[in-house]
Amino acid sequence: MASGEGFPSSSLQADNLIHVFWDEGMLKHDTGTGVFDTGMDPGFLDVLEKHPENADRVKNMLSILKRGPISPFISWHHGRPALISELLSFHTQEYVNELIEADRNGGKEICGGTFLNPGSWDAALLAAGITLSAMQHIIDGHGKFAYALVRPPGHHAQPTQGDGYCFLNNAGLAVQMALDSGCRKVAVLDIDVHYGNGTAEGFYRSDKVLTISLHMNHGSWGPSHPQSGTIDELGEGVGFGYNLNIPLPNGTGDEGYGYAVHHLVVPAIEKFEPDMMVLVVGQDSSAFDPNGRQCLTMEGYRDIGRRIRGMADKYSNGRLLIVQEGGYHVTYAAYCLHATLEGVLNVSEPLLSDPIAYYPEDESFPIKVIEAIKKYQKETVPFLKDA
């Protein structure tokens, strides 16, 4: 349903629009308060903080797209909850049943920091269904660029378990929909500061999906996240070589990310030649995010969006799905989202200036790391040997 009540309309051509899918029902996912994401009240603090994955962060993303300079380029759409049968294209019945039972019993801490509270399951079904609606919009030819503004996030959710604030893998479900709808190959680029382990796990044994993750080098954080995100996690069987991890040193900023995209991401996508592209975005790679240790600014996000747009134009007939993940600085995350979408639109000049702007970056060490990753991939990944 396009141009819902209260949403600004646009007379611009469809190819110059970003079709944003959203529903306020996702705000009902209440993650609570405590010490950061623990939900713990130690009893000796007068002021507890909201869980980092709270509704306020997404409210600002919504408002900056409605009232910011990019608003004339936005077409608004509603989505719908995912069906249980749709979830089984990525997740196991046993895991889905676990979530349904947890909701029926009033909630559960799925794993550290990941709270399924009353209202969370309905929000998770909406997030999954809205992402599927956005992908269907592209598949049906109604627009080239669609953005699923969703929460709870999804890229850590694996086929058999939740992880890292995620219950259902929104992007993974959309990728499977694209394959089931006739797409030959789908490329997924994840720029959230944390490894997109769930999406990677879902397609780890497939040569139809190329998953690329740029993340800080954080390793495994326990049973819910057994994957390390290291360069040697390349896939298995026919999927060997189609999961490319790019763990970047803490402090990597605009120059380092740009170098990684140019020297690692672009050559891989050129060799893979996808007919659908998915950009998994998290603004927690920004210089000021409480949940990451990287140094991207608005210009870095804008550059990534521009580069992804170029690859989509070249290989997937411009078709690009963007799926929201992390980003926990309540105000700056919204600015970085705005910049990413400016890049996707390929605007000639920035529409919005950076209120924080410059953050110092020493790009020399990240470039050395990226060159080492490049050497390893060319020696190890069959389809990249002559890239």
Active site residues: 156
Residues in the chain: 387
3-state secondary structure of 150: coil
Q: For residue 84, which phi and psi values (nearest 5 degrees)?
A: -60, -40
DSSP codes of every residue in 184-235: S-EEEEE-SSS--HHHHHHTTT-SSEEEEEEEES----BTTB-----TT---
Cα(368)–Cα(61) distance, integer angstroms: 35
Largest separation between any pair of C-alpha atoms in the chain? 60
What the block records as the tokens of 186 is 């789908």
Q: Where are the alpha helices (DSSP H) in 250-331?
A: 254-260, 266-272, 298-315
Q: Residues 145, 18: contact at Cβ < 8 Å?
A: yes
Q: For residue 351, which phi and psi values (nearest 5 degrees)?
A: -85, -25
Q: Can you tell me which residue has the tokens 């598949």?
A: 139
Q: Residues 239, 206: contact at Cβ < 8 Å?
A: yes
Please compute, for residue 304, the number of CA atoms within 13 A of its CA located in the half-sphere on the CB side.
Answer: 35
Q: Can you tell me which residue has the tokens 């969370």?
A: 120
Angle between helix 120-139 and 93-104 (nearest 10): 140
Q: Which amino acid is at 383?
A: F
Cα(150)–Cα(127) distance, integer angstroms: 5
Q: Residues 2, 133: contact at Cβ < 8 Å?
A: no
Q: Is 110 left (phi over 0), alpha (psi -120 to 50) or beta?
A: alpha
- In whole angstroms, what separates CA 387 from the centre of its chain? 26
- Please tell me what DSSP assigns to residue 119: T
Parallel/antiparallel/unpaired status of strands 49-50 and 33-34 = antiparallel
